[in-house]
Structure 1
């Protein structure tokens, strides 16, 4: 059976830099370790979050796992106050798309240090 725990793999050119990026957005580091000579970080919105991002070194994965796919998954983060979150991300100098209203919800996208796009949606 599946449970509520979800871990999403992200590939980064610099694991430490990617981890610091997510920390600047308010995420907490759950672990940062070296595995087989490569860094791996696990971050989440909080220690109790059921969704974690696991950040692997892109070069290490490409050299050691020929089945790993290059494209990152598309993620949509929920927010109870999209406009306030947008303003917070502006203050930490994150590359942002415009806020758009779709029906009763607001949506915008942002880009991490490796050029991966993420979406935020909510009220």
Structure 2
């Protein structure tokens, strides 16, 4: 039985810029910086004790080393308890955000990183 989602692989064109986006703009924490052979990757998460983290991999290197890997951006839904504050914070940091939308499960908005990968945030209390 699987207990949790441990890591989500995010393949990016520029790891350093992605790291800056996730830590400086989105408010994530750098958990670790790893190296193995020619590859280097960053592990980020909403907090140090989060159960799930995002691993920022170099898309070009992964494509060369593992040609069969799907390099598309996963569709990720994040949760927040204070969506209005997060929405305003992202706008103030000049993150591209969509309109706030009322859904059956709560309010939602999408946002884009610097590579124009889109993600969503839903209000969850």
Report the Cα distance in structure 1 between the residues aligned to 2:4 and 2:88, rounded to whole angstroms.
Answer: 30
Secondary structure of the residue aligned to 1:55 is strand
Give 2:14's aligned residue: 14
Does residue 66 (structure 1) correspond to residue 28 (structure 2)? The answer is no
Aligned length: 123
RMSD over equivalenced CA pairs, Å: 1.4
Does residue 80 (structure 1) correspond to residue 81 (structure 2)? The answer is yes
CA drift of 1:56 comes to 0.3
**1:29-54 CA-partner distances (Å, limit 9, x unpaired):** 01113322232000000000001000
Which consecutive aligned stretches of 4+ in structure 1 deviate over 6 angstroms post-superposition?
A: none
**1:80-100 CA-partner distances (Å, limit 9, x unpaired):** 111110001111111111111
CA drift of 1:103 comes to 3.5
**1:95-120 CA-partner distances (Å, limit 9, x unpaired):** 11111112361110001122211000
TM-score for both structures, normalised by structure 1? 0.92
Report the Cα distance in structure 2 between the residues aligned to 1:37 and 1:17, rounded to whole angstroms.
Answer: 19
Gaps of 5+ in 2: none
* Cα pair distance change 1:39/1:104, threshold 3 Å: closer
